């Protein structure tokens, strides 16, 4: 099966004309090598900070393909159903830029490097859609915007970001006022929140948001210092990275390590809320102290918060919470 036939099959599958029986034979490596020919430039692994948003969208496509072709976890899979690549194929063909497509390209940029199994990759290839929430569409937009602006001005938050990046990169320069909040999901209206009292939802909502800001911002600060949106790439030759050298594990797990530094664990707040065991008075006091820019010390034991195991997370330099089944420890 050559490249032309693969693309014809994908195009026909897009219109529903090809039976699934025709989509099973070649190996995952073969499909990726053929899709790799969609990229015009070879050996490009960098998405620079000198690009504008539209250029990032188009340039990242080639880098995403490089990531996939070099992802040992993916290429070692004996068979990957071609039909599951249809959505990704449509994305690669897309020529119209939008803020949603930019967000999708960034999600694919990081998920293309993950260490998942077949199910994980199939899920990622099928569920990378993004719809950026605008102020008029989101009841809690102003609330989160205000909370975000308070967090990024806090001495404690900034010191954690700078120290975390310096520990693995040796230097850190960053203007936190340049950070911009972009929102996608409204968890307050999700079914998992439906039956919970408003007071409890508010505590978990704010705490989950703060956890996420710590986890994601540290990657933003690191990539900014390395001047590469693809800086957490596992197989990037070390000599191409600025000195001092950064280990693959440090790059990929930096968000988790920063979260553990702040909360002493990987918080599973949603399951904790559903279980009805969370110590809301302790969590509320932590929030008050944190937002007042006072010294804080989160305690897993006192909060009675459930936590995820670190090894359960996909290593992809992106906050991706396990949700298929409950995988946590007290």
Does 250 lie in the same domain as 164?
A: yes
Average pLDDT, integer, range 50-66: 89
Average pLDDT, integer, range 298-302: 96
Does 112 lie in the same domain as 150?
A: no
- pTM (whole model) above 0.75: yes
Report pLDDT for 117. 81
Does 192 lie in the same domain as 67?
A: no
Distance of CA 258 to the CA centre of its chain: 15
Report pLDDT for 240. 42
How many domains does the chain divide into? 2
pLDDT band (50, 70, 90) for residue 251:
low
Give the single-character DSSP code of 21.
G
Report pLDDT for 38. 61
Does 320 lie in the same domain as 297?
A: yes
Does 278 lie in the same domain as 205?
A: yes
Question: Distance (Å, rounded) from C-alpha 141 to C-alpha 124?
Answer: 27
Token match 């990378």: residue? 128
Does 96 lie in the same domain as 166?
A: no
Question: Distance (Å, rounded) from C-alpha 224 to C-alpha 228?
Answer: 7
Q: 48: domain range?
A: 3-126
Does 60 lie in the same domain as 173?
A: no
pLDDT in tens, 121-177: 888 888 888 777 777 767 777 888 899 999 999 999 999 999 999 988 888 999 999
Between 42 and 215, where is the model more confident? 215
**For the residues of 81-134, what is the DSSP string, one character each?**
-GGGGHHHHHHHH-----HHHHHHHHHHHHHTT----HHHHHHHHH-----PPP
Does 173 lie in the same domain as 293?
A: yes
Does 76 lie in the same domain as 194?
A: no
Does 240 lie in the same domain as 192?
A: yes
Last residue of a domain, one of 101, 126, 151: 126
Q: Are 84 and 119 in contact (CB under 8 A)?
A: no
* Helical ranges in the chain per DSSP H: 3-14, 28-36, 53-69, 72-75, 86-93, 99-111, 118-126, 141-151, 155-169, 198-226, 248-263, 269-275, 280-291, 300-303
Question: Distance (Å, rounded) from C-alpha 258 to C-alpha 211?
Answer: 10
User: Which residues neighbour 225 within 8 Å (Cβ) at sequence distance 6 or greater?
Assistant: 165, 169, 171, 172, 173, 174
Does 179 lie in the same domain as 116?
A: no
Last residue of a domain, one of 126, 155, 185: 126
Give the single-character DSSP code of 304.
T
Residue 308 pairs in a beta bridge with 266, 328
Last residue of a domain, one of 126, 155, 187: 126
Q: How far is CA 129 from CA 91, 106, 126, 254, in A?
A: 10, 11, 8, 25
pLDDT in tens, 23-48: 445 566 666 666 666 655 556 678 88
Give the single-character DSSP code of 6.
H
User: Which residues neighbour 104 within 8 Å (Cβ) at sequence distance 6 or greater?
Assistant: 91, 128, 129, 130
Neighbour-count burial for 149-188, b at 16+ CB within 10 Å, e otherwise: eebbebeebbebbbebbeebbeebebebeebeeebeeeeb
Q: Which of 162, 258, 264 shows the shortest CA–CA distance to 216?
A: 258
């Amino acid at each position: 099966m050559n490249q032309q036939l693969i693309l014809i099959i994908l195009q026909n599958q897009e219109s529903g004309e090809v039976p699934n029986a025709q989509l099973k034979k070649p190996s995952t490596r073969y499909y990726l090598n053929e899709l790799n020919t969609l990229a015009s430039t070879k050996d490009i692994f960098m998405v620079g900070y000198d690009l504008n948003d539209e250029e990032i969208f188009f340039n990242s496509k080639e880098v995403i393909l490089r990531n996939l072709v070099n992802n040992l976890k993916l290429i070692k899979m004996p068979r990957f159903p071609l039909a599951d690549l249809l959505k990704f194929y449509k994305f690669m063909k897309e020529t119209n830029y939008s803020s949603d497509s930019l967000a999708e390209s960034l999600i694919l940029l990081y998920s293309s490097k993950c260490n998942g199994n077949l199910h994980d990759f199939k899920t990622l290839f099928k569920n990378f859609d993004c719809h950026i929430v605008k102020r008029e569409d989101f009841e809690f937009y102003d609330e989160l915007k205000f909370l975000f602006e308070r967090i990024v001005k806090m001495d404690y938050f900034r010191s954690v970001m700078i120290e975390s990046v310096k520990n693995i990169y040796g230097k850190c320069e960053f203007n936190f006022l340049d950070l911009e909040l972009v929102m996608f999901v409204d968890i307050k209206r999700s079914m998992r929140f439906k039956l919970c009292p408003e007071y409890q939802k508010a505590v978990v909502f704010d705490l989950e948001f703060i956890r996420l800001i710590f986890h994601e911002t540290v990657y933003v600060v690191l990539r900014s210092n390395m001047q590469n949106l693809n800086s957490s790439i596992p197989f990037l030759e070390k000599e191409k990275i600025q000195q001092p050298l950064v280990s693959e594990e440090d790059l990929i797990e930096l968000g988790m390590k920063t979260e553990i530094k702040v909360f002493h664990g990987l918080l599973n707040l949603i399951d904790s809320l559903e279980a009805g065991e969370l110590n809301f008075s302790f969590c509320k006091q932590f929030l008050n102290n944190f937002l007042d820019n006072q010294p804080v010390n989160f305690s897993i034991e006192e909060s009675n918060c459930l936590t995820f195991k670190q090894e359960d997370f996909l290593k992809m330099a992106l906050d991706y919470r396990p949700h298929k089944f409950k995988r946590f420890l007290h």
